[in-house]
Amino acid sequence: MNETRRLVVVGNGMAATRLVQELRRRSGTREWSMTVVGDERQNAYNRVLLSNVLSGATPIDALRLTPVDIDDVDIRLGVTVTSIDRARQLVVTSAGVIPYDVLVLATGSTAVVPPITGLVTPEGGLRPGAAVFRTLDDCKRIIALAEHARTAIVLGGGLLGLEAARGLAGRGLVVDLVHNAPHLMERQLDSTAGNVLSRTIRGLGVRVHTNATTLAMTGTDAITGVQLDDGRALDADLVVIACGVRPNVALARECGLVVERGIVVDDTLRTSDGDIYAIGECAQHEGEVYGLVAPAWEQATVLAELLSDASAPIRYTGSRLVTRLKAAGVELAAMGDVSPANSDCDDDTEVLQFVDAARGTYKKVVVRHGRVSGAILLGDVSTVGTVTQLFDRSALAPHDRLALLFDGGRSAEAQTPARIPDRATICRCNGVTKGAITECWFDGARSTDDVATRTRATTGCGTCRDTVDGIIDWLAASAAAEKC
C-alpha cells in the first residue's frame, strides 16, 4: 500500500482550489494528506467576478467556489507563511510549522501601488479615501466608501480599471478614469481600438483622461483628488488604484528559488527545487507570467495529473489568451498578437480591419500563414465564437475572410446549438466543450447550475452562460419533440 504523502499548498485562491479539487477527483486522500494555507480570512472565491460585485450585478455569496470538504483537506485561513525551510522541508507560518513532501506555491499576485506623493501614510498604508481593487476585502471597502461618495477617480486604464470605473458609474457616481498610456488597454489593443473604446466608455458616463500621469494626491486629512502632470486637478471623494499587479514571489526568492518576474517553472510546473512547484499568477513559464484565470486552471489541471501519476505524458506548454472585458454596455474580446497594421502586410500576413467609431465598433483580425494569430472585436462581437475557435485550435481561416469580421446574418444560425460541433469549446476558462455539456445533460444534469457543478462551465468569467443556457434549452426541446 502506498504511503500517504504530505502536500502543502501556499495560497487559497482560484489556482490552489482547482489543484486540490483535481487531485481529490483523481486520487482522493488515499495518496495525499493536503494542507492549504491562505492569508485571507474568507473561503476561496472567484476573483474574476469581483467587478460584477462592485457594480451590484452579482451578490458576494455567488463568488464562493465549489467548497472543499474540510474533513479531507486541512484549510488554514488567515494564516501567513513567513518562510520556507527547504533543507528540512518545512513551511513556517504565523500559526506554527507545517512539514511537507511536496510544496506548491500558488501565492498569486499583489496590487501595484504607484509611488505617488500623498498616496500612502508614513506607516505604508493607503491614506483615507483611497483603495486598491484586488481582493474581496478591497471590493467591500470600495463599496462602503462609494455609499458616501458622489465622485470617484480610477487610476489605471487596463482591464481592471475599466471594470472598476464602469462599476462605480453604475452605482451613480461621477467617475474620472486616469491612464498614463496613450490609449486604454494598451497591452491588448492597438491605438485605434483604444480610441474607439474611450469613446464608448465616455458614452457610458465615465470621463477618460489618457496620456495623463498622476503626480500627487490632494487633501489633508483624507484624499480629496489628484494632481496631474499637465497642471489639472481632479476632485473626488474616492480614489481607486487599478495600476496592475505584481507576482507575489517574496517567499520563493527568500528561500533561494530561481525567480525572474515570476517563480521560474518548467513544463511540469516544477521550480528549481524538485519538491516545489508553482502555479497561477506567481509562476513564470517560458518567460511568460499569465494574469488570467484560464492559464492558472490549465496549470492546476496539468500539475494534478502529474502528482497523481508521475509517468503521465502531460506537460504544460503555455496558454493562448483571450481577454474579455466584463463591463455593462461594452462588448470586447482581444486575443493574440494584434500589432501588425495594414502597411505591415506581407505575403504571409493579412490584416482585416473595420472601424465605425460612431457606433463603437472596431474589428481587426490578423491572419498569418492562413491562420488567425490575433484579433480585436469591439462593439459587435457576433463572430467571436468563430474567431476564438480558430485562434484556439490554430486552424485554417475560411477562404471568405470577411466571415471573420461580419456574420452576414449567419451568427444566429451559426450559434444555434444544433450547428455547434461537439468539439467546440463553450467555456474557455474551464475547457468545457459542447459535447461535455450534452453528455452531462443525458446523464441527468438538466439545468445550467447542474452542468456547472459537474463541468465547472460558467464558473470562470461567466460570459459563456447564455450559450450554456441555449444548449440546455435546445436539448430539452429536442427531447420533448422526440416524445411527441
Same domain, 264 and 339: no
Any domain includes 313: no
Provide φ and ψ at 334, rounded to 5°.
Answer: -140, 140
Same domain, 238 and 250: no
pLDDT score recorded for residue 202:
94
Same domain, 258 and 214: no
What predicted TM-score, i.e. pTM, was given to this entire model? 0.88
Same domain, 235 and 144: yes
Which tens digit of pLDDT belongs to each residue from 164-195? Answer: 999 999 999 999 999 999 999 999 999 999 99
Identify whether the C-beta of residue 333 lies closer than 8 Å to the C-beta of residue 384.
yes
Any domain includes 70: yes
What CATH number is attached to the domain comprising 378? Answer: 3.30.390.30
Any domain includes 319: no
Final residue belonging to a domain, choices 193, 227, 243? 243
Final residue belonging to a domain, choices 352, 377, 408? 408
Same domain, 27 and 92: yes
Tally of domains within the chain:
4
Which tens digit of pLDDT belongs to each residue from 280-336? Answer: 999 999 999 998 899 999 999 999 999 998 889 999 999 988 998 877 788 999 999
- Name the CA radius of gyration of the chain, rounded: 23
Identify whether the C-beta of residue 129 lies closer than 8 Å to the C-beta of residue 219.
yes
What CATH number is attached to the domain comprising 140? Answer: 3.50.50.60
| Containing structural domain, residue 363 | 331-408
Which has the closest alpha carbon to 367: 344, 403, 396? 396
- Average pLDDT rounded to a whole number, residues 399-419: 71
Final residue belonging to a domain, choices 293, 308, 323? 308
Which tens digit of pLDDT belongs to each residue from 450-474? Answer: 888 788 788 777 777 878 888 888 8
Same domain, 153 and 235: yes
Any domain includes 398: yes
Any domain includes 117: no
Same domain, 199 and 261: no
Same domain, 139 and 231: yes
Which has the closest alpha carbon to 9: 98, 111, 78, 134? 98
Same domain, 229 and 267: no
The burial of 274, by beta-carbon neighbours within 10 Å (0-12 exposed, 13-18 middle, 19 or more buried), is given as: exposed
Same domain, 25 and 78: yes
Same domain, 41 and 103: yes
Identify whether the C-beta of residue 196 lies closer than 8 Å to the C-beta of residue 362.
yes
Q: Distance of alpha carbon 103 from its chain centroid, rounded? A: 24
Any domain includes 119: no
In the chain, the percentage of residues whose pLDDT exceeds 90 is 65
Same domain, 209 and 148: yes
Any domain includes 280: yes
Which tens digit of pLDDT belongs to each residue from 341-383? Answer: 666 667 789 999 999 999 999 999 999 999 999 999 999 988 8
pLDDT score recorded for residue 70:
60
Identify whether the C-beta of residue 108 lies closer than 8 Å to the C-beta of residue 249.
no
What CATH number is attached to the domain comprising 464? Answer: 1.10.10.1100
pLDDT score recorded for residue 303:
97
Any domain includes 315: no
Q: Tell me: pLDDT of 412 over 50.
A: no
pLDDT score recorded for residue 413:
42
What 3-state class would DSSP assign to 202?
A: helix
Helix H or strand E segment including 435: helix 434-442
